[in-house]
A and B are shown apart, each in its own frame.
Chain A
Amino acid sequence: GAVVSQHPSRVICKSGTSVKIECRSLDFQATTMFWYRQFPKQSLMLMATSNEGSKATYEQGVEKDKFLINHASLTLSTLTVTSAHPEDSSFYICSASGTGAPYEQYFGPGTRLTVT
Chain B
Amino acid sequence: QKEVEQNSGPLSVPEGAIASLNCTYSDRGSQSFFWYRQYSGKSPELIMFIYSNGDKEDGRFTAQLNKASQYVSLLIRDSQPSDSATYLCAVEKYTGNQFYFGTGTSLTVIP
Question: A77: CB under 8 A from chain B?
Answer: no
Say whether chain A's binding surface is mostly helix, strand, loop, or mixed: loop
- Are B43 and A101 interface neighbours, CB within 8 A? no
Interface size on A, residues (CB 8 A): 21
- Shortest distance between the CB of B39 and any CB in chain A (Å): 11
Set of chain A residues within 8 Å of B36, measured between Cβ atoms: 107
The 8 A CB mask of A22-54 against B (1 = contact, 0 = none) is 000000000010100000001110100100000
Per the bound structure, the CA–CA distance linking A75 and B90 in Å amounts to: 23
- Are B97 and A32 interface neighbours, CB within 8 A? yes
- Are A106 and B42 interface neighbours, CB within 8 A? no
- Closest Cβ neighbor of B51 among chain A residues: A102
- Closest Cβ neighbor of B47 among chain A residues: A1
- Are B97 and A108 interface neighbours, CB within 8 A? no
Set of chain A residues within 8 Å of B99, measured between Cβ atoms: 46, 105
- Shortest distance between the CB of B79 and any CB in chain A (Å): 22
Set of chain B residues within 8 Å of A102, measured between Cβ atoms: 31-32, 34, 49, 51, 92
The 8 A CB mask of A68-87 against B (1 = contact, 0 = none) is 00000000000000000000
